[in-house]
Amino acid sequence: MRIKAFSRKIFCLAVTMLIVNAVSVAQSDESIWSGVFTAQQAARGAADYSTNCASCHSVDLRGNSNTPSLLGMSFMFIWEGRSLGELYTKMRDEMPSDRPGGLSTRSYEDLLAYLLQSNQFPAGEKELKASTGMLDKISITSKP
C-alpha cells in the first residue's frame, strides 16, 4: 500500500516536470509574432530615426530614388526569411551610411524595434536586446 502511494507521487512529480518542461520550451521558441520589443522602445527608436535616418530614408520610411524603403513589401522582399540578427548587423555596421556604427547599441536596438513596429509586427512585454543572442534565432516571417 505504502509503496503504491509512493510510486503514485513519483508519477505525479514526473508528469508535473514534463508539463513544466513543455511550457518552458514553448516560451523559449520566440517568433517575430510573439512580441519581441516594447512599444516604449519603438517610441525611442522613432526619435532616433528622425534624427539619424529620416534625412535619407524620408520621414515616412518610404525612401526615395536613392535610398530604399524600409516598409511593407519592399522591406519584406529583402528581409523575409532572414534573421533579426542580420538586419541588426546590417544597420549597425552600415547605417547611417554617412557614419556607420556611429550610434549606441541601445539606439540600434531601439531603431530595430521601430522598424518592426512600422512593419506591423506586434509589441510585447520585453525589450529587444542584441547582447542576448536572441536576434539570431528570430526570423522575419509574414504572418502564419
**How far apart are alpha carbons 106 and 112 in whole angstroms?**
10
Chain positions 24 to 63 lying near ligand HEC, rule: CB under 6 A, are 52-53, 55-57
Q: Which of 78, 77, 81, 87 is nearest to 116 (CA)?
A: 87
Tell me, what amino acid is at 12?
A: C
Per CB under 6 A, 140 contacts ligand HEC? no
Per CB under 6 A, 64 contacts ligand HEC? no
Per CB under 6 A, 82 contacts ligand HEC? no
Residue 63: C-alpha distances to residues 81, 122, 142 (Å): 22, 23, 22
Q: 39, 72, 94, 101: which one contacts ligand HEC (CB under 6 A)?
A: 94
Per CB under 6 A, 78 contacts ligand HEC? yes
Chain positions 102 to 121 lying near ligand HEC, rule: CB under 6 A, are 111
**How far apart are alpha carbons 88 and 77 in whole angstroms?**
17
Q: Which residues bind ligand HEC (CB under 6 A)?
A: 52-53, 55-57, 66-68, 70, 75, 78, 90-91, 94-98, 111
